[in-house]
Amino acid sequence: MKKHYSTKKIFSRTFIALCVIIFGLLSKDSVAQSDRTLYFLPILPNTRTVNPAIFPQYNFYVGIPFLSSVRFGFETSVNYDNIFLEEGDSLYLDREYLLGNINDNNLLNFNLSDELFTFGIKAGKNYFNFRVADLVNVNIHIDKEFLRFFLYGNGSEEYLGKTVNLGGSAFNAMYYREYSFGYARQVTEKLNLGANVKILQGIADLYTESLDFTLYTDPVDFSISGSSNIRVFTSTPVPDGEDLQPKHIFTVTGNPGFAFDFGGQYVFNEKWTAGASILNLGSISWNENVESSITKDPSKVVTFEGFDFGEFFENNELDRDRIEEALDSIADEFSISDGEVKYKTTIPSTLMLNGHYNLGLKNQFSGVISTQFLQENVWPALSLAYTRKFSDDINLMFSYTAFPQSYLNLGAGFAANLGPVQFYAIFENALAAAALTKASLFKVRFGFNLVFDGKKKTKEPVEKTTE
């Protein structure tokens, strides 16, 4: 059923969706997705989230609820210092400086998750795992031409008498809960295979399938002609007329989804191991409290001769109702309809290739090639690491990560077992904490597990000495 378009309503729905997503982050004290470097600490049972074929060394483990795995982080093609210039104690925005520092396509990938509960158990050549986790994915794509138009305006010499295409930008944000059932099997002495089956519960979503505009400014009378192709969808757990409350986060059940992980791990010999995995192959169907804004006729061209700005003021104050009426009028001219359309979104999937080389009993060199698949974009990265295995209970690692927009990111991490209590922390680009304005990558992950019945401790051979 289609309804009269209201810019106030669509902005309100978008704002609520973002609030729910932000609430999902803050309510868990979530601090990023460091899955690439998670592989470099072999004593962690959580490595199954990187490759479901990996067998943890413990017969049984259980995560401390809400603290087993807390993750936060971002990767971006443009950092803070690429945008603002600093002069003394002041910051200012210079158009040419900004446009000279950004790419044609600018990406921001932001991920958070919190493992609410998890456990794993080994049974002979089989390993079973279960976990419940809340996850947030935010992916923003900003086209350079859109920024240029915003900074200079349609009346500048660059756009007068020219048709400009402002399409290509997108904003997608998703908050969902995952119930994962994992199984791994030692097929042979050298080969392990594993898979995770995930039931997904969509909580909030903002999805821009299309956000395209074309504009032409007449060089004589400055009238503007344009067309639009907009397809924007939202889903929130908050029914119309209600305020956002914590209960809404846990009671939404009308947005089901499924996803799968598959992996394999092969041991060539005592020195070389390699593996591959594909993670998060799946989607969510958004059916509950959905709203949509869709252009009915993308080929329609509308011409505006301008507005009398005096009409937007009353008693020297902005008349918000008049502004909303004007925006609604523009939307109606572009034939943008407001409705309740059910829709489906895929979750960002990742392909990973991993391997490591053991130099003796205590030194391990590892590498991971990962590619995350976002909407109309891919995000490749390479990570290398050295891990010092002081014992079967203590790992210390140092890593290096590179992706197309940032080639020097040094990380570190450790994992330690204090009896049955295991604590770990991982930092990708550890130096970024001291210089966030220059960072294009920063990720943190930490957690607590209880681990039991580990494998027998390895002992260093005793060298015989002669007097």
pLDDT digits 0-9 by tens, 21-65: 444 444 333 333 347 788 899 999 999 989 999 999 899 999 999
User: Mean per-residue pLDDT for 347-370?
Assistant: 93
Q: What is the mean pLDDT of the chain?
A: 81
CA 93 to chain centre: 27
Predicted pLDDT of residue 284: 95
At 272, the pLDDT band (50, 70, 90 cuts) reads very high
Checking if the pLDDT of 293 tops 60, the result is yes
Which amino acid, residue 202?
G
How does pLDDT run across 387-403, given as a tens digit for each residue? 999 988 999 999 998 88
Half-sphere CA count of 263, side-chain side, radius 13 A = 34
Predicted pLDDT of residue 326: 60
CA 262 to chain centre: 20
User: Mean per-residue pLDDT for 246-266?
Assistant: 87
Rounded CA gap, 349 and 190, in Å?
27
How does pLDDT run across 123-160, given as a tens digit for each residue? 999 999 999 999 988 888 888 888 888 787 777 777 88
Q: The tokens of 188 are what?
A: 């042979």
Predicted pLDDT of residue 391: 86
Checking if the pLDDT of 426 tops 60, the result is yes
Predicted pLDDT of residue 448: 96
Predicted pLDDT of residue 192: 96
Predicted pLDDT of residue 210: 86
Predicted pLDDT of residue 395: 96
At 317, the pLDDT band (50, 70, 90 cuts) reads low
User: Mean per-residue pLDDT for 407-428?
Assistant: 92
Whole-number Cα distances in Å, 87 to 39, 97, 189 = 43, 14, 63
Predicted pLDDT of residue 351: 94
Q: Most confidently modeled of 128-132, 207-211, 405-409?
A: 128-132
Q: The tokens of 460 are what?
A: 């260093």
How does pLDDT run across 148-158, given as a tens digit for each residue? 887 877 777 77
Rounded CA gap, 347 and 42, in Å?
27
For the whole model, what pTM was predicted? 0.81
At 2, the pLDDT band (50, 70, 90 cuts) reads very low
Predicted pLDDT of residue 383: 93
Q: Which residue has the higher pLDDT, 4 or 101?
A: 101
Taking alpha carbons only, the member of 149, 161, 112, 103 closest to residue 133 is: 112
Predicted pLDDT of residue 258: 96
Considering the chain, what percentage of its residues have pLDDT values greater than 70? Answer: 80
Q: Which residue has the higher pLDDT, 41 or 297?
A: 41
At 180, the pLDDT band (50, 70, 90 cuts) reads very high
